[in-house]
Each structure stands twice: as C-alpha cells, then as structure tokens.
Chains A and B, each alone.
Chain A
C-alpha cells in the first residue's frame, strides 16, 4: 500500500513538473525580455539569460506613461466593480438556485443568452445608450453594470455551486425561523467560499485588464487606466519590445499575487464545519 502511494506521488510530481515548465515559459520569456536589450530578444533559439541586465527598461517604461494616475483610476473602477459584482451576483444566484418562484427558470435562461451574441454588434448600441444618458466620459458605464447582477457568467457559476449544497441546511434554518436573507448570509455564502473566491479573482482580472470598455467610454486621458497605458507601448511604427515587456510584467505581477493569495483560501472539504453549523 505504502509503496504504491509513493510511486503515485512520484508520478504526479513528474507530470506536474514537466507541464509546469511549458506553462511557465511565456512568463519567463516575458520576464527575461523585460530585462534585455532589444537586440537580444529575438535571437533564435531564445536566450534565457539577459546580458547585460537592463533594469532601466522598467524605469523608462514606468515613467514615460503616467502609471500612478492610471493605477488610481484602475483601482476606483476595480474596487467598485468588484463590490458590485460580488454582492449582486451572489444574491441573484442564490435566488436562482435555491428559492422557488414563478418565472425563475425562464429568467435564468434569458440571462444566459446575454453571453451568446458576439459583443462586436452590441458594443455600439450599448455606447449609444450611455451616450444618450450623458454618462460617456465618466466611470459610470464601467462600474454600474456590476451592480446589476455582475454578469451572466458569475451568476451561472455560483448557481452551480449553490445547487451542490445540501437542501436540509436551508430547511432546518427555515424551521428555526431564519429569513431567506439570513440563510444566504449564514449558510450559502460561507459554504460556497471557493466559488466566491474564484469570482473575486476573475473579476479582479477582468477590471485590471479590461481594455475595450475604458477605451470606448473614457474621453479624457487623465481618466485612462493601466490597460490603456500598456497598449501605448505597441507603437504604430515599431514596438519597443523591451519596454512593452517591462510594462507588461509590472502589470501582471499584482494579478499573480492576488491569485496566489486568493486560492489559498479555497475550502478544503466543506462538511465538517458545514453540517454542524
């Protein structure tokens, strides 16, 4: 028994190790390019050690575009957007997964259809709507939709998770006289922590990297976000690859950190705490 276990473990390590190498390649390529001279980046087959190490790339990349300002703008959109998404998507999904009401399944399916029409054709009508309301140029079109359900993807994902939580928990709570809202806050939310973390990670990535939304709706350069700033490095005549990669590395590092921190809090086996609570 023991032997097969160690053998199994070793096999898992080997497979994960080998796959990890291929998966980390693009990141390494970006990182080492960000520290190189332009000439060295495209040598084939790739060279992996920068020589000389050019830290100046970072200094130049981070000063040529007003990144501090763009960071502030990004954070405003990101924090408000995440708050809206997390509150309304968890609440809506709770209703779709665990409450019974007339029209529930109809509305759920209708909301799903919003993912099926290519964004290219709804972009302009959407813009015209915000334009008619006089909101173009502000952060409002970027933030407010998050407070209205936070997107079909999140609602659907949460619904799937909620539906895996044993029903007896709700029923027991109802008998105890708990309100639906109380069930949502004290049973559903704690037991679907993993899924909520996934949504928090995804919505962080979305607002951090969203380029099209800010580009279309913002009209003033002082309101630009990091993602727009990053695009500037891909010039019309030539791309300064070393600076593009330095800027890219700086921008994705927070994402990596958020991810590592976030997924640490995945639930590991829910029942022990769940059924007793």
Chain B
C-alpha cells in the first residue's frame, strides 16, 4: 500500500513540474518567436514587391469587437477584400464582444496574436507598442498612394513616438452639442450655433441653459421662485463624468491633461477654471443634473426624446441612436471659453501585430476596413465618420454619407467643418500612463461634481499623487 502511495506521489510530482514548466516555457517560446517573426517581417517588408506576386495561400487572423449590426459590416468588408484576391487570402475573423483586452492578452501571451486587430487607445495598445509588439505602419503610408497623410482626415493616427505609427482609425469621432428643436421653439430661444465662428461664449450658454431649465411649477431658472429641488427639465446634460466630455473645455480654456513641460495639467489654473465652470452648471446654476440625478437619466437619445434635457453634449456616434429614436433634433458647436471653440477627437484604431507573416496583406485588410465605401452603412447611419479627407471636402462624396435623418441641421458646419479644420487630439493620443493618472483624478472629480469641494482644492489635493504618475508625453 505504501508503495502505491509513493508511486502516486511520484506521478503527481511529475504533473506539477510539467505544469510549471509549461507555463514558464510559454513565455520563453513566445519571446523567441517574436524575434524570429520580427526579422522575418523586416525581410518581408524589404522584399514586398516580390511577395505580393506570391500565390501561396494566406490566412489572416483579424479580431475586433462589435454589435451584431456592426459585425455584419466588418465581415462584409473583410470578405470584399478576400474576394478581390481571388481566394488567395482568407480571413479568419473573430468578433470578441466583451473583455476584449483579456482575450487579446491571452492570445498574445500564448504567442498566438492576430495579424490585424481593432484596438482602443486607453487600454493595452500603448503598453503593447512599447514592448515592440505592433508594426510601424509608416512604412506603408509612406508608399501608399490612396491611404497616406495627405488623404487621411487629421487626428486619426496613433503614434507611440514621433516616427512609430501604431494604428489608424476607421474614422474619427468628435463631440457635438445636440439639441431638441421643439424644446427651443417652445421656449422661444435661438438654438446653438453650428458655425465655428458663431460659437456661444460660456455666459451666453449659461443664460440660455437657464431659460431651458424648468421646475415642476413651470418656472425656469431665470425666474423668481424657481425650485432647484424639483426640476422637471434640465437645460443641458453630458458635461460631467467621462473625461471625453469635460476634456473639450480643458483645451478650450487653454489647459491640458499633462503640460508640455511635463506637469500634471488638471491642477493648473486653466484646467481648474474650466472644471469649476462645469461644476457650477450643476451646483450654482442648477441647469445640469448632478451625479445623483444622472443615475436616473437615460441615454442622450431618450433624454432628448422625453424632454428631460434640451441640450446634450455627446459624441458624434450618438447621431445613430438619436436619429433612431426619431427625435426632432439639430447639432451645434460647443460653447467657447478663453480660446475659440474646439472638439477633441477620440477613436479606436486598427493595428498590425509585428508577429504577422503577411504584412502586405495585413495592410491591405486595414485599407479595406477603413475604406469609407465599405463602412458606408455606419457612416450614413450616424455611428461613424469617414476616414478619408475627400469625404469632407468634395460635395459629391459628402452627399454620399452626410445626408439623411442621422445627419441633421447644422451637421455640415458643426461636424464636418469642425472635424476637418478645428479639431485636436484627445489625451489618450499622447499622455503617457494615462490610466493611472486618471485613476487618481477621477475620484477627486466625483467630489467636484457633487459640489463638495472646489475644482482648485480637489485638484490641488491630489496634485502630488497624480504628478508621481506623470511620465511625460509621446509627442
């Protein structure tokens, strides 16, 4: 019996060792293969003309996230490219509907990275780029006649440093001030201007928001006896919470998330002034719902439709849901602070992994995916904007996507002109260690929106901790 026990123990030990070795080896193997792959791709890039003629079958692995509707469009775009190669290239596309980073991380750690992947700037993309896992796409844009920096719309490329292009967006996204036309008409107020040069000043904006904030007895916020505890309709929403929203006004007031000389930007006077002005919308003027009221505030489309708010600051993509909800709406530019009005660009991207054996085909797939024609349904439907500049400048191309119910009054000025001529990149494009900085700033901002602390005090209080996480800028 004892012998049997010992035998079993011995077998078990082998299992343990085997297991530990396996997990350990996985990494070594992957780093070795990476080197091999890297040199291979370098060669491949150098000898690309011959390679393109090669008729050996190519299988590209492509990962992305999407809703069922979007999935159809990506699959169709990928198929269109595959068909154009007469069956030489097949695409193994995999839609990963959530926990995308976890899945991708596992694939990479398992030395099984995709060739082309949709990526998001605020998560694992830059850490990957810093470990040299992503291919520099500049080698392609430098040579490509149809997709390069003259043809792409500005601000949709991600760079890990000045010369390393790691991703290109399928299109930009930016911010708009949506408004319910009926509500403005009922209040007899002029709607938000859509032209860059006509943007409201902050004071004008607050005055109009007050007129559109109405309590249960029907009094608006400019009138005597207005009860801020019983508000039925808010003038404005969408400024607090996510950095994508209030970030516009940090830039609009001449501030930054991390300054050019490497300081934590949000505690600088330009930034705290902007943050305070937004907090005042909630706590001084009562024209914007606070964090508590926001929890019972539906998405922008429903809020506008049910007349809970008159104006909403939201991303361009909301045109899709607002148009679907059949709101009678228009769009305008954001109010301006010290500087002229502007809008941040935020967007995802497509990247190529260095481990790919087929860089040229991968690039061709990216081109197919960002081609405005293949994603026209999304462009026209309201979710996306095209990636190529010509779709913003040439009237017949504009007409292809910027018409219809999801492209309302004011869109051509407030979205197309703003995007092309007055947009800037958001912080995730260039701030290093962005997530860690915001992990510290966000809880402090909770207090600002709740009115428990002034923006200047709250930001001062965390300045030191946040500064410890600042690692400079990529540009």
Interface code B64-107, partner A: CB below 8 Å = 1, 0 otherwise? 01111111000000000000000000001111111100110110
Shortest CB–CB separation between residue A237 and chain B, in angstroms?
5
- Asked if A132 lies at the interface with its beta carbon under 8 angstroms from chain B, I say yes
- Asked if B262 lies at the interface with its beta carbon under 8 angstroms from chain A, I say no
Measured CB to CB, the nearest residue on chain A to B93 is A221
Contact between chains at B103 and A216 (CB < 8 Å): yes
Task: List CB contacts (< 8 Å) of B274-302 with chain A.
Answer: 296, 298-299, 301-302
Find chain B residues with CB under 8 A from A236 CB.
Answer: 65-67, 70
- Asked if B383 lies at the interface with its beta carbon under 8 angstroms from chain A, I say yes
Contact between chains at B96 and A215 (CB < 8 Å): yes
Measured CB to CB, the nearest residue on chain A to B110 is A131
Given A136-B112, A235-B70, A236-B70: A129 in contact with B106 (beta carbons within 8 A)? no
Shortest CB–CB separation between residue A214 and chain B, in angstroms?
11
Contact between chains at A231 and B94 (CB < 8 Å): no
Measured CB to CB, the nearest residue on chain B to A42 is B298
Given A123-B106, A131-B26: A39 in contact with B302 (beta carbons within 8 A)? yes
Shortest CB–CB separation between residue B76 and chain A, in angstroms?
14
Interface code A23-63, partner B: CB below 8 Å = 1, 0 otherwise? 00000000000000011011110000000000000000000
What CA separation (Å) do A211 and B65 show in the bound complex? 15
- Asked if B36 lies at the interface with its beta carbon under 8 angstroms from chain A, I say no
Contact between chains at B66 and A127 (CB < 8 Å): no
Interface size on A, residues (CB 8 A): 36
Given A128-B26, A133-B22, A232-B95: A238 in contact with B320 (beta carbons within 8 A)? yes
Interface code A51-87, partner B: CB below 8 Å = 1, 0 otherwise? 0000000000000110000000000000000000000
Contact between chains at B112 and A131 (CB < 8 Å): yes
- Asked if B23 lies at the interface with its beta carbon under 8 angstroms from chain A, I say yes
Find chain B residues with CB under 8 A from A102 CB.
Answer: 5
Find chain B residues with CB under 8 A from A234 CB.
Answer: 67, 97-98
Measured CB to CB, the nearest residue on chain B to A38 is B325
Measured CB to CB, the nearest residue on chain B to A129 is B22
Contact between chains at B94 and A232 (CB < 8 Å): no
Given A232-B71, A235-B66: A129 in contact with B97 (beta carbons within 8 A)? no
Contact between chains at B26 and A215 (CB < 8 Å): no
Interface size on B, residues (CB 8 A): 44
Contact between chains at B67 and A235 (CB < 8 Å): yes
Contact between chains at B26 and A238 (CB < 8 Å): no
Contact between chains at B305 and A221 (CB < 8 Å): no
- Asked if A212 lies at the interface with its beta carbon under 8 angstroms from chain B, I say yes
Contact between chains at A232 and B68 (CB < 8 Å): yes
Contact between chains at B296 and A127 (CB < 8 Å): no
- Asked if A240 lies at the interface with its beta carbon under 8 angstroms from chain B, I say yes
Shortest CB–CB separation between residue A241 and chain B, in angstroms?
9
- Asked if B201 lies at the interface with its beta carbon under 8 angstroms from chain A, I say no
What CA separation (Å) do A41 and B306 show in the bound complex? 11
Measured CB to CB, the nearest residue on chain A to B71 is A232
Find chain A residues with CB under 8 A from B299 CB.
Answer: 42, 238
Contact between chains at A128 and B325 (CB < 8 Å): no
Task: List CB contacts (< 8 Å) of B18-39 with chain A.
Answer: 19, 22-23, 25-27
Contact between chains at B103 and A215 (CB < 8 Å): yes
- Asked if B13 lies at the interface with its beta carbon under 8 angstroms from chain A, I say no
Find chain A residues with CB under 8 A from B19 CB.
Answer: 129
Interface code A206-236, partner B: CB below 8 Å = 1, 0 otherwise? 0000011001100111000000100111111
Contact between chains at A212 and B99 (CB < 8 Å): yes
What CA separation (Å) do A237 and B67 show in the bound complex? 8
- Asked if A177 lies at the interface with its beta carbon under 8 angstroms from chain B, I say no
- Asked if A124 lies at the interface with its beta carbon under 8 angstroms from chain B, I say yes
Measured CB to CB, the nearest residue on chain A to B348 is A236
Find chain A residues with CB under 8 A from B301 CB.
Answer: 38, 238
Contact between chains at B305 and A233 (CB < 8 Å): no
12 extra A-B contacts, CB within 8 A, seeds A127-B109, A221-B93: A41-B302, A42-B299, A128-B110, A131-B26, A212-B99, A215-B99, A232-B97, A233-B68, A235-B67, A238-B299, A238-B320, A238-B321
- 12 A-B residue pairs with CB within 8 Å: A64-B69, A133-B22, A136-B110, A219-B112, A220-B92, A231-B97, A234-B67, A234-B98, A235-B66, A237-B320, A237-B383, A238-B301
A-B pairs, top 3 by smallest CB distance, nearest first, are: A235-B67, A42-B298, A128-B26
